[in-house]
């Protein structure tokens, strides 16, 4: 399996288009994209668990559940969330116009939006954008790269990856793109991710593989603890490579490995490009009474802004991390806690070590490091990929 | 009942002392204080619910439970938390030295610390400080004011209030001081609060009145959602005024009213002086299925940093607030939500109003305003006093 970071090579049978429709404030930026399979494709998707769901999520969720889709239409700049019945009419109109122009059944079009919550969609611009997209679909990878740019909001860079894997003598591609960059928390972050593959995968298997990949990637990251109204991961599989993935086969293992590599790469990219982020922290909790409590402890640490602002500095914030677990539902006994920054132990038996507290700069000045908290209570463990919080996060979000 | 903000007048029979012991980095600042009743006093206290408790909390909690105390010894600059067995020995040594110098039984001395977590206490300085405190106890209110300064950490100003209430022809005082200013969340925030009264109140009644006052004040505020290791509210009642408060009497009502006014004033002062705070928000949630769900919804809103950074700006962040309730355990149905900034309705049936979104500046530019979210589902309601989050919060905490 080969992973090509920072590229988006369209798998066989897929076309793409991106336009500057004027939905984003800056009219020089791409803000709408269409991903399109020329052949019938299966699909799977996961969506936000938020009770407040954007109109496109409400529209696309039941469609994706049917397992068949061949187009993903997306706009950035407006989330079409908290927009009431008009919002749903707008999402449907986006889909209907795409169906009309491409000849694909309406029910096989998935719609996504990302951007500001609560504003009506500028439908004149959006529908003109749909027309332009449908008229310019191309297999050209340069155009495909513009689709990655089109879904960006406060992201500072496009995030995409292409995996290639040999299956039954055929080369299968899994190509993925994603966007962050705030309102990012596990259980589907404010994020969109689109995955395209030219393998042939039955809907039920695709669903299982995607769920597993999402659990091990997007559901293990946290930027700011806010789960959004629009989170969507969508995957289309069109079989154009001629390779078929059957449940329980060696091909499934190879395909799953590639898919997991793609989603984990993209998830990490979201954290690295989180709003104002300067540190990428791999947070491991071990020795919890259960995996579930380890996960809870990790999430309370990663969602404490006192911890996150501390990570933006260089002094170890072991005390703040203990404090955060202390008010979580996860069991902690002060005297049993050990804590490492990379290999440097900064806390033992709930107390700071002299060595760790004189040599911490060799770890904390690095842009990426691992923090491990061992609770000394059992065998439960969890990993979370997270980041610091700087003044820039506030500046971006206070508008 | 009269409330005198920004004053600390000692009730009858109380002495105070403050010193610059060098525990804080800045040696020109007061950092230790002793509050002392010349007569035997009853006491009540509430402490952090964090599983990680500072040594002075572990020492003082069982003592306060006995209902008798006549001294509160406090230092700022070092929290004596995550300091292991040595931390407990240090807290005990602070108490023992005070007992020796004042002749008060060791078990009737309550000890508090606030400041950095995880550092050993500089006991040479601390014990010299205790000696100096015991030697300079005075009924002078100017000295008492220095005790308010001594407990400050990142607070930008001293926070104190004195209430006077007539009970049975006698003037009873309730004097309170508090400190914040980060790691502030309901269920006892990172805060200390000391309350002194010259009323005579039996321990059980004092406990009940204090618990009720704390629930309606300190437990309704949130600065950053972090519950600390050191939170303590302590109250001493020495009866020096000659007025006795009996359970079920009119005196109890008058006393409770004054006590509640004192604690609510101090709680609000903590929020107003929260780290980097520029907006004081009274957040009301109504129409929830239950009071408990209303409280949950309010806390999820108040602890979303995406909401809080938005409050630092002037644009209404109704969408972000709905989003935050959406991922909370509290039930929300988008179409039923209304939302007001003061009297201006910015959202109706889950959609933005035109009026609210053109006139919002008249509210959002004010330093203090009320936000009400009506969920339209039932009769549950809750109030939370909270604040925005600015770049300065990050700057203070990233060190």
Q: What is the pLDDT of residue B286?
A: 98
Of all residues in chain A, the percent with pLDDT exceeding 70 is 96
Give the Cβ contact number of residue B225 at 10 Å: 25
| Cβ–Cβ gap B118/A185 under 8 Å | no
d(CA B341, CA B382): 16
Q: Do B51 and A332 touch (CB under 8 A)?
A: yes
Q: Residue A116 has what pLDDT?
A: 85
List pLDDT tens digits, range A292-336. 999 999 999 998 988 999 999 998 899 889 989 998 999 999 999
Q: Report which of B209, B100, B228 is spatially closest to residue B154, judged by C-alpha positions.
A: B228
Q: Which residues of B6-36 are buried (b: 16+ CB within 10 A; e: fewer)?
A: eebbbbbbbbbbbbbbbbbeeeebbbbbbbb
Give the chain A residue whose CA is nearest to the CA of B334.
A52
In this predicted model, what pLDDT tens digit does every residue of A36-49 receive, in sequence order?
999 999 999 999 88
pLDDT digits (tens, 9 = 90+) for A269-278: 989 988 889 9
Q: Where are the alpha helices (DSSP H) in chain B?
A: 55-65, 84-102, 123-134, 141-150, 203-215, 250-272, 291-302, 305-311, 318-326, 356-359, 361-364, 391-398
Chain A from 193 to 212: CB within 8 A of any B CB:
none
pLDDT of residue A187: 42
The arithmetic mean of pLDDT across residues A18-29, rounded, is 96
Q: Which DSSP string corresponds to B238-295?
A: --TTS-EE-TTSHHHHHHHHHHHHHHHHHHHHHHHTSTT---EEEEEEEEESSHHHHH
From chain A, the residues in CB contact with B398 under 8 A are 309-310, 312-313, 390
List phi, psi (to 5°) of A374: -105, 120
User: Which parts of chain B register pLDDT below 70?
Assistant: 181-190, 225-226, 399
CA separation (Å) from A30 to A52, A191, A221? Answer: 27, 17, 27
A30: which residues sit within 8 A by CB, 6+ positions away? A18, A19, A20, A146, A147, A149, A150
Of the listed A83, A98, A153, A190, which one is catalytic?
A: A190
Model confidence over A118-152: pLDDT tens digits? Answer: 889 999 999 999 999 999 999 999 999 999 999 99
Nearest alpha-carbon partner for B72 in B173, B150, B162: B150
* Residue B128 backbone dihedrals phi, psi, to 5 degrees: -60, -35
**Tens digits of residue pLDDT in B226-248:** 677 788 899 999 999 999 999 99
Residues of B with catalytic function: 190
* Residue contact B305–A226, C-beta within 8 A: yes
CA–centroid distance for A352 within its chain: 36
Whether B310 and chain A come into contact, CB under 8 Å, resolves to: yes
* Amino acid B223: pLDDT: 74
Q: Does A336 touch chain B (CB under 8 A)?
A: no
pLDDT of residue A397: 83
Which of B306, B352, B353, B391 has the highest number of chain A CBs within 10 A, making it the mutation to test binding with A? B306
Angle at A394 between CA A160 and CA A76, to 5 degrees: 40
In whole angstroms, give the CA distance from residue A381 to residue A373.
10
CA-to-CA dists, residue B374 to B36, B341, B382, angstroms? 47, 12, 11
Q: What is the pLDDT of residue B188?
A: 37
Angle between helices B84-102 and B123-134 (to 10 degrees): 20
| Residue A327 to residue B226, Cβ atoms within 8 A | yes
Local confidence band at A182 (pLDDT 50, 70, 90 cut-offs): low
**Do A389 and A311 meet the contact criterion of CB atoms below 8 Å apart?**
yes
For CA atoms B388, B391, B393, B394, the dihedral sign is positive
Classify each residue of A156-183 as buried b or exposed e, where b means 16 or more C-beta atoms within 10 Å of its C-beta: eebbbbbbbbebeeeebbbbbbbbbbbb
Using a CB-CB cut-off of 8 Å, the residues of chain B touching A393 are 305, 309, 394
What residues contact A17, with CB distance under 8 A and at least 6 apart? Answer: A33, A34, A36, A132, A133, A134, A136, A137, A138, A143, A147
Give residues with Cβ within 8 angstroms of A122, minimum separation 6: A22, A23, A78
Confidence of residue A154 (pLDDT cuts 50, 70, 90): confident
Q: Are A319 and B224 inside 8 Å of each other by CB? A: no
Residue B352 to residue A323, Cβ atoms within 8 A: no
ipTM of the complex: 0.84
Q: Calculate the average pLDDT of chain B.
A: 92
Residue A185 has pLDDT above 60, yes or no: no
- Per residue in A18-49, is it b (16+ CB within 10 Å) or e — as a string? bbbbbbbeeeebbbbbbbbbeeebbbbbbbbe
What's this model's pTM, rounded to 2 decimal places? 0.86
Cis upstream peptide for A181 (omega within 30°)? yes
Residue of B52, B227, B391 lying closest to A395 (CB–CB)? B391
Residue pLDDT, tens place only, A232-241: 899 999 999 9
Could B226 and A84 be called an inter-chain contact, meaning their C-beta atoms sit closer than 8 Å? no
Alpha-carbon distances of A176 from A17, A39, A145, A179, B116, rounded to whole Å: 15, 19, 11, 11, 45
pLDDT at A117: 84
Instruction: Decide: B30 and B18 in contact? Cβ < 8 Å.
Output: yes
Please write the tens of the pLDDT for every residue from B34-78. Answer: 999 999 999 999 998 888 889 999 999 999 999 999 999 999 999
> How far apart, in whole angstroms, are the C-alpha atoms of residue A228 and residue A85?
19
The helix-helix angle for B250-272 and B203-215 (nearest 10°) equals: 40
Q: What share of chain A has pLDDT > 90, as a percent?
A: 78
B60 touches chain A (CB under 8 A): no
Interchain CB contact of B323 with A (< 8 Å): yes
């Amino acid at each position: 399996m080969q992973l090509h970071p920072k590229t988006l090579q369209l798998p066989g049978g897929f076309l793409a288009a991106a336009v500057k429709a004027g939905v984003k404030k800056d009219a020089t930026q791409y803000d709408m994209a269409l991903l399109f399979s020329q052949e019938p494709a299966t699909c799977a998707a996961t969506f936000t668990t938020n009770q407040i769901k954007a109109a496109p999520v409400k529209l696309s969720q039941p469609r994706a559940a049917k397992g068949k889709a061949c187009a993903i239409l997306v706009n950035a700049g407006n989330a079409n969330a908290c927009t009431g019945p008009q919002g749903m009419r707008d999402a449907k109109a986006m889909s209907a116009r795409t169906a009309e122009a491409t000849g694909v059944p309406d029910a096989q079009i998935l719609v996504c939006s990302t951007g500001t919550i609560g504003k009506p969609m500028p439908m004149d611009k959006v529908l003109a954008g749909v027309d332009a997209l449908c008229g310019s679909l191309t297999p050209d990878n340069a155009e495909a790269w513009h689709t990655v740019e089109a879904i960006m909001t406060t992201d500072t860079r496009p995030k995409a990856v292409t995996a290639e894997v040999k299956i039954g003598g055929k080369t299968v591609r899994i190509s993925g793109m994603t966007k962050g960059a705030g309102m990012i928390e596990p259980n589907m972050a404010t994020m969109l991710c689109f995955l395209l593959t030219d393998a042939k995968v039955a809907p039920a298997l695709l669903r299982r593989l995607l769920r597993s990949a999402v659990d091990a990637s997007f559901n293990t990251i946290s930027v700011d603890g806010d789960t959004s109204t629009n989170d969507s991961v969508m995957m289309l599989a069109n079989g154009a490579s001629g390779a078929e993935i059957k449940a329980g086969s060696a091909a499934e293992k190879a395909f799953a490995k590639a898919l997991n590599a793609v989603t984990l790469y993209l998830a990490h990219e979201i954290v690295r490009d989180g709003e104002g982020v300067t540190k990428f922290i791999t947070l491991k909790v071990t020795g919890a009474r259960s995996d579930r409590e380890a996960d809870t402890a990790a999430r309370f640490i990663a969602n404490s802004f006192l911890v996150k602002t501390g990570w933006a500095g260089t002094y170890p914030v072991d005390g703040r991390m203990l404090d955060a677990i202390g008010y979580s539902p996860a069991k902690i006994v002060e005297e049993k806690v050990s804590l490492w920054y990379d290999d440097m132990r900064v806390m033992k038996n709930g107390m700071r070590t002299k060595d760790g507290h004189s040599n911490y700069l060799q770890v904390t000045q690095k842009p990426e490091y691992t923090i491990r908290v061992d609770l000394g209570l059992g065998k439960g463990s969890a990993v979370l990929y997270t980041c610091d919080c700087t003044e820039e996060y506030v500046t971006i979000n206070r508008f």
